[in-house]
Amino acid sequence: MAEAIQKLQEAFNQASKLMELEPIYIPDLSEIASSWRDELEAAFEVIPLGGVQAVAALKREAARRRPARDGKGARDSAIWLSALEVAVANGAPVHFVSDNRADFADTANANLLHPDLLEDCKARGVEVIYHRNLDSLLDKLSSKSQNTPSIGSVSAVKNMFLEALFETGLPHRISEEFYGSAGFSLDAEVKDVKKIKSYQVDDAILSLVDIDVEVDTESTGDGDVKEIPLLVGCRAWVQSSHSAGAISSIDVEEVSSVTVR
């Protein structure tokens, strides 16, 4: 995270050489951690662990009853009992996400709950649907979409896209690899958009895409002009409207390549 903050500062400094920017406030690590915690607590409800559940979890650990094994696993047992409690209280299926296949998954099929845990569900008359990861949860809760953001739709929000690219530290990377301490200007043109996967929830389309961008850079300041044409590859999440088709947000996960054209 410290490296990301440094890259943000460096990217802002480099971008300031290209255009007039308002001063920005860059928080420190403790502020970011506090902000993340606040956002998570606002987005999720933390299920409290009652005394009865805590005792039951310890008993499962002592009895080596799944998800506890080998005399350990009270914490996993508490998590599992909390999931069952939510299912009982709401009278609706619960989606349970955990990559801990060794304790929660069926040994014959890692995409299903272990039979012992299914027995817990049957005893309470509830349904708990197991997911190994968030992709599995998205597949269940949303519809697969054939929608692919077009080159034109990404180009239409070029400033938004460039801002997302700058947040990855791209200007700093270009500076380090090609210009050193010299300033430079750049212009970009989207050349290709390839879909990895897309999901639809109501009218929103969320697509993971690979984007290729031709970036023309040119040195600024005194001295001979230096021009370097680049091809930048990145992977991004793009949110758009199914009905309108317009892109509402772009989040660049990573810049995968920066090469000279």
Domain-located, residue 105: yes
The domain boundary, picked from 141, 174, 207, lies at 141
Mind listing the pLDDT tens digit for each residue in 221-233? 777 778 999 999 9
User: Which segments within 13-146 are labelled E, that is strand?
Assistant: 94-97, 128-131, 143-144
Domain-located, residue 33: no
Closest by CA to 66, choosing from 17, 105, 11, is: 105
- Asked whether residue 173 falls in the same domain as residue 250, the answer is yes
**The amino acid at 81:** L
- Asked whether residue 191 falls in the same domain as residue 242, the answer is yes
**If you average pLDDT over each of 15-29, 51-65, 120-134, 141-155, which comes out highest?**
120-134
- Asked whether residue 130 falls in the same domain as residue 215, the answer is no
- Asked whether residue 82 falls in the same domain as residue 128, the answer is yes
- Asked whether residue 131 falls in the same domain as residue 218, the answer is no
Q: What does residue 126 show for φ and ψ, rounded to 5 degrees?
A: -125, 165
- Asked whether residue 171 falls in the same domain as residue 147, the answer is yes
- Asked whether residue 189 falls in the same domain as residue 234, the answer is yes
Q: How many domains does the chain have?
A: 2
3 state SS of 182: coil
- Asked whether residue 215 falls in the same domain as residue 245, the answer is yes
* % pLDDT > 70, the chain: 89
Domain-located, residue 1: no
Mind listing the pLDDT tens digit for each residue in 188-246? 999 999 999 899 888 889 999 999 999 999 888 777 778 999 999 999 999 998 877 78
Domain-located, residue 232: yes
Domain-located, residue 256: yes
Domain-located, residue 65: yes
Residue 55 pLDDT level (bands cut at 50, 70, 90)? confident
Mind listing the pLDDT tens digit for each residue in 162-171? 999 988 888 8
In 10 A of CB 190, how many CB atoms? 19
- Asked whether residue 149 falls in the same domain as residue 243, the answer is yes
CA distance 18 to 220: 9
CA distance 240 to 152: 13
3 state SS of 244: coil
Q: Taken in order 60, 65, 68, 71, is the CA torsion positive or negative?
A: positive
CA distance 123 to 72: 24
Domain-located, residue 124: yes
Cα 50 to chain center, whole Å? 32
Domain extent for 231? 143-260
pLDDT the model gives residue 29: 67
The domain boundary, picked from 125, 141, 157, lies at 141
The domain boundary, picked from 141, 163, 187, lies at 141
CA distance 117 to 84: 10
- Asked whether residue 215 falls in the same domain as residue 122, the answer is no
Q: Taken in order 141, 40, 67, 127, is the CA torsion positive or negative?
A: negative
- Asked whether residue 224 falls in the same domain as residue 210, the answer is yes
Domain-located, residue 126: yes
pTM of the model: 0.62
Q: Which tokens go with 169?
A: 């530290």
Cα 97 to chain center, whole Å? 16
